Structure 1
Amino acid sequence: MSKNIVYIDPDLEFLIPQFLENREEDRQRLEKLLQESEFDQIRIIGHSMKGSGGGYGFDYLTEIGSQIEKNAELKNKEEIKNLIDELRNYLDNLEIIYQKE
């Protein structure tokens, strides 16, 4: 499986481990919330991911957060499950390269 390579400004290096740990916690919470059909809470997490991803250099997290948010509004359980799987795959195969732009 190919790695998801993300180039991050070295100035953010100390923030990235906690940021990614929080995204993994989000993923676990999303799975639990989906089982409970808590679409409002799912929407909030998606919205938060949409807002924070790009600021740290993780544009894909912004994109997937937006999709989670939209599908939570539609109560589209199957698509949310697929997006959570995509999120897991992305986080599990992430390779970060620190470099100045």
Structure 2
Amino acid sequence: MIVEVDKELEDVFPRYLRNREEDMVKIQSALEKKDFETLRQIGHKLAGNASGYGLLGLGEMAKALEHAAGSRQYDNCRNVISQMKAYLTDLQPKFV
């Protein structure tokens, strides 16, 4: 999936994605432990920063994760996390 990203972010975008990969490891671990507070916190953080990098879809998924974790909805958390992984795997930034 091609996502347009501001050309000014081209140098920092790879680091941003690496940090999101680290977040996904933490998210998976938190899911396995049913650590809903960690899931909620990471979801909140991602919801806040994803749009600044042009990743509106990721931001919306992160909001959904934050909400599902806040309600302790394990299956919804698992589904959103799966969508987030697919989004990040398929992401192809186009710097404009």
TM-score, with normalisation over the residues of structure 2? 0.96
Structure 1 stretches of 4+ with a deviation exceeding 2 A read none
CA shift at 1:9, angstroms? 1.1
Unaligned runs of 5+ in 1: none
Correspondence list, 1:57-76, <5 A: 57-76=54-73
**1:74-93 paired onto structure 2 within 5 Å:** 74-93=71-90
Deviation at 1:7, TM superposition (A): 0.5
Amino acid in structure 1 at the alignment position of 2:53:
Y
Q: Which residue of 2 aligns with 1:42?
A: 39
Match of 1:56 among 43, 53, 60: 53
CA RMSD of aligned residues (A): 0.7
One-letter amino acid of the structure 2 residue matched with residue 46 of structure 1: G
More helix, by proportion: 2
Identity, % of aligned pairs?
32
